[in-house]
Structure 1
Amino acid sequence: MLLRSTTDVVKMERGKIQAMREQILNGPIEKTLIKLAYPLIISNLVQVLYNITDTFWLGKLGREALAAPGTSWPIIGTLMALGMGFATAGFAFIGQYIGAGEYERANRSAGALYSLMLLFSTLTAAISLAILPYALHFMKVTPNVYPYAKAYATVVFAGVPFSFTFIAFSALMRAAGDTKTPVKISMLTVFMNIILDPLLIFGIGPFPKWGVAGAAIATVLSNATGALIGAWLLTRGKLGLHLTRETLKPDFHFYSRIFRVGLPAAVGQSANSFGFVFLTRIIYGYGDVAYAAYTITTRLVNFLTSIARGISMAMGTMVAQNIGAEKYGRAKKIAERAMITNFMIASLAVLIIGIFRVPIFRVFLDDPEVIAQSEYVLKYFLTSVPFFNGIFVVVTMTFSSAGHTKKRMILDMLRLWGFRIPLSYIFGYVPGINLLGVWIPLAELFGMTPKGVFFGMGMSNFLAATIALMWFMKGTWMKRIIEEDIRKGS
């Protein structure tokens, strides 16, 4: 049997992209959404399963080790978000090109995005390692947690190029309507991570005992495996989009367009992640116990809302391609269906956590103080999660998928810097204000405890979701960003 040529493989895979495009543009919304979402849902569940496993094993080392990844991730996320912003822009361009039937433009853009992410990630890794000690000190990380957080983040930063290139690969596949391939690779890497975690943390068998650093090393090795598999598939043309030496050459014209569209998304997401550096500082003001309770609770809600996140990502693919085909009414309807579905799923998730909170927490850390603090997180913060996942996340995903990244940037920054950080600090640390001779209690309402911090966080979700929904209904996002290219025919 003769082997098929690379050209034949590319043509066959492009035919699959065209068939998926037809379903996205004209097929039943719910059925298509489920088809695209279920691989992403599985991937999210498996990824969160790893996070929970990671939390479980690190919890065996103590409260300080358990807090290390959660402490480090605001710093890691700040710089990683820059890459995510450019990937978001590439996703919007490529998705809209495919929706418009411009497959060659989509292919050239894919190569340019991938090479940009590779170059940018190297610079990001170097900057991350340089600022790490200063960032940890700024966050007021306690002396007990500091060495663990520094060890974890140092290793993860070294693996940033692998993370960035896999982000690019996943964005390219989702834009083309292929949600299965990146999920298969993600599942492989997550299971690899789950296996390596206890081996490298505790030094089982021939493996060295690296403690918290072992968890980070397991993460980097797994990410590297996924990135290399993704690169191999793209360069072999096995996924419709085909990266060659020609398409991977620096394309400064496309880079400028990626920066123009991607910079607001990158700034917004980086500012969002950097905001969590401040938020971590605010929570740590009440000690390790409050932060450990926050870390475990957010890991649990992430597990239970994985379905909602998968639906949002699938919706983004459908919105991008429908915007590219100028089917704006259908794009709006898709977003509305996703909004209702996600709100219901997130509400159920919060209810489940509320019912089983104590026994679940004891699985990870049987610490009475932490379990007591978790009640505050649930009551004052997690009750707002349906508004965040169901409305805010869907609206921001819709804006970015349509290429209107400035709108997303404004919403992201407003939620965190306009609402969450100020409100968390005010209700957590400011006793009250004297307004025209009348004393208005603020933090005093919550006894000057972490309750006020978590109340402020919850309020930020309610307020941001309301503003996002109002902006979405105005419909100013229903305009494609590839119009200039299509009109010029270049």
Structure 2
Amino acid sequence: MNETFMKEKPVLPLLLSMALPNVLSMLVNSLYNIVDSLFVARISEDAMTALSLVFPIQNFSNAIAIGFGIGINAMIALYLGAGDSEKAETAATHGFVLSLVHGVVMMVVGIAIMPGFLRRFTQDEALIAAGITYSTIVFLFLVVNMVSLAFEKIFQAVGRMKVSMVALITGCVCNILLDPVLIFGLGPVPAMGIAGAALATGIGQALSVAVYLVVYLRTELPVRLRRRCLRPDAALDGRLYAIGIPAILNLALPSLLVTFLNGLLAAFSQSYVVVLGIYYKLQTFLYLPANGFVQGMRPLIGYNYGAREHARVKKLFQLTLLMSAAIMAAGTVICQFASGQLMGLFTQNPETIAAGQTALRIISIGFVISAVSTTASGALEGLGKGAESLVIALCRYVIFIMPLAALLCNWLGADGVWHAFWLTEVLAAAVSGIVYRRAVTHKK
């Protein structure tokens, strides 16, 4: 299959053709995240709190799947751009097998640590039980999730964005349809509560894998998973991890941040912990579609860099930044003028709604400027510069926001945590510009 369209097609139509299927699938994924939380919130606010407490570990497992997938994606695109299809297939095969190993390890570790992890934040046995029930079922499907995301990155690396769109949408729609049936019961199906929400998630992931398998087995792809490619290749595996580990840390750092912020906020009121959990559900509706453009850009930048088309690399970055900023600007307007209505979707507690209104209005100040750091991170990963991307992530999730949140909450109470978000985005954007320019200049 000829993939030279990645360096021959005009940049804007090319980026749109690669990004829009991702944006659509990310919008559906965002809708699923919100609908899933809405159904859980209807069980009780305690159930929503349990979901918020489980989020850091669940997000960390997803970070491993997606982050290592970024390494697979980047290596395939770089080798295809350089015309080395054998190496591209080896990268795909090694990446897929290693993803399976990651899934098994995380399943065992995740289930084992959750009881102790939850008890760090609450002594409410009902909350702990709900969190253990939800997380155990979700983690039992971790191998399935790792396979799904490995396939996703392989298909994206070769320009098959529509396949990944169909697979993700199929899984999300299945999840949305199953949520009310499994949570509240319907006909012969018993009401399963929070366990039903977890089971719906796992079944949706399994359905996505089924879509990928059908397409993989029935269509031609420029890379295939081949037994002969399983021979040891320490150098290639090292490159996969050199890109994948920083990407994993990049995506996992929000888990560390949420755990840290939950500790700060719980000292003021449990309502603030709920608000933070709701915020992270709502912000996916902005950051996931924006990430759709980044995902579309990533293999294009890798392929064009491998083909030494540096002018196209620069243009791809600029267009992605512009489109991401436009999405975040729309989100800013919504959060400024409809924050109360958004919070009211998840809770009827007046105290929580009032705190959430304030949080959304303050945090959203930094949405537009955050497009700089998210786009720069994605571009660096596409260029195989995982360490530089990690520097940006550390600034966003550790170096700036944690000290700022701890300091400001002493002066402003819980509101100080919310102000730390937008201040961090301004500082991280400045760092991102410097890091990206230096990395690109060095690569040339």
**Under TM normalisation by the shorter chain, which class is it?**
over 0.9
- Which whole-Å CA distance do the structure 1 matches of 2:126 and 2:269 have between them? 11
1:25 alignment counterpart: 7
- Which whole-Å CA distance do the structure 2 matches of 1:142 and 1:278 have between them? 20
The 8 Å contact of residues 343 and 357 in structure 2, kept in 1 or not, is answered as no
2:436 to 468, 472, 485: 472
2:380 to 399, 411, 415: 399
Q: Specify the code of the residue in structure 2 equivalent to 1:58.
A: V
1:409 alignment counterpart: 390
CA deviation map 1:106-138 (0-9, x unaligned): 122211111111122111211111111222223
Cα distance change, pair 205–240 in 1 and its aligned pair in 2 (3 A): farther
CA deviation map 1:41-80 (0-9, x unaligned): 1101111111111111111112111233232121122233
Which SS does the other structure have where 1:60 is aligned? helix
- Which whole-Å CA distance do the structure 1 matches of 2:358 and 2:296 have between them? 33
1:452 alignment counterpart: 416
Post-superposition shift, 1:229?
3.2
The 8 Å contact of residues 40 and 194 in structure 2, kept in 1 or not, is answered as yes
Post-superposition shift, 1:191?
0.8
Post-superposition shift, 1:34?
1.0
Q: Provide the identity percentage.
A: 25
2:356 alignment counterpart: 374
- Which whole-Å CA distance do the structure 2 matches of 1:334 and 1:342 have between them? 12
- Which whole-Å CA distance do the structure 2 matches of 1:235 and 1:141 have between them? 50
Q: Would you say 1:265 and 2:247 are equivalent positions? A: yes
Which residues in structure 2 correspond to 1:190-209 (within 5 Å)? 190-209=172-191
Cα distance change, pair 296–109 in 1 and its aligned pair in 2 (3 A): same
2:41 alignment counterpart: 59
1:463 alignment counterpart: 427
Which blocks of at least 5 consecutive residues in structure 1 are unaligned? 1-13, 431-442, 481-490
Q: TM-score, normalised by structure 2?
A: 0.93
- Which whole-Å CA distance do the structure 1 matches of 2:264 and 2:136 have between them? 23
Cα distance change, pair 369–352 in 1 and its aligned pair in 2 (3 A): same
Cα distance change, pair 265–477 in 1 and its aligned pair in 2 (3 A): farther
Select between 467-476 and 95-104 the one with higher mean Cα deviation. 467-476
- Which whole-Å CA distance do the structure 2 matches of 1:119 and 1:338 have between them? 33
1:175 alignment counterpart: 157
1:329 alignment counterpart: 311
Select between 132-141 and 168-177 the one with higher mean Cα deviation. 132-141
CA deviation map 1:339-393 (0-9, x unaligned): 12211220121102221222333333222112101122123212112222x1111
Cα distance change, pair 37–261 in 1 and its aligned pair in 2 (3 A): closer
Cα distance change, pair 189–43 in 1 and its aligned pair in 2 (3 A): same
- Which whole-Å CA distance do the structure 2 matches of 1:200 and 1:330 have between them? 48
The 8 Å contact of residues 175 and 320 in structure 1, kept in 2 or not, is answered as no
The 8 Å contact of residues 36 and 177 in structure 1, kept in 2 or not, is answered as yes
Which SS does the other structure have where 2:400 is aligned? helix
Structure with greater proportional helix content: 2
The 8 Å contact of residues 99 and 322 in structure 1, kept in 2 or not, is answered as yes
1:9 alignment counterpart: none
Which SS does the other structure have where 1:364 is aligned? coil
Cα distance change, pair 45–133 in 1 and its aligned pair in 2 (3 A): same
CA deviation map 1:82-114 (0-9, x unaligned): 333322211111011122222232122211111
The 8 Å contact of residues 304 and 346 in structure 1, kept in 2 or not, is answered as yes
2:269 alignment counterpart: 287
Q: How many residues align?
A: 444
- Which whole-Å CA distance do the structure 2 matches of 1:80 and 1:460 have between them? 24
Q: Would you say 1:421 and 2:402 are equivalent positions? A: yes
Q: TM-score, normalised by structure 1?
A: 0.85
Q: Specify the code of the residue in structure 2 equivalent to 1:241.
A: V
1:96 alignment counterpart: 78
- Which whole-Å CA distance do the structure 2 matches of 1:397 and 1:285 have between them? 35
Select between 305-314 and 157-166 the one with higher mean Cα deviation. 305-314
- Which whole-Å CA distance do the structure 1 matches of 2:67 and 2:212 have between them? 20
Q: Would you say 1:34 and 2:16 are equivalent positions? A: yes
1:128 alignment counterpart: 110
| Structure number with bigger Rg | 1
2:168 to 161, 181, 186: 186
The 8 Å contact of residues 388 and 439 in structure 2, kept in 1 or not, is answered as no
Which SS does the other structure have where 1:201 is aligned? helix
Q: Would you say 1:349 and 2:331 are equivalent positions? A: yes
The 8 Å contact of residues 140 and 284 in structure 1, kept in 2 or not, is answered as no
Q: Specify the code of the residue in structure 2 equivalent to 1:378.
A: L
Post-superposition shift, 1:143?
5.1
Post-superposition shift, 1:304?
4.1
1:383 alignment counterpart: 365
Q: Specify the code of the residue in structure 2 equivalent to 1:414.
A: C
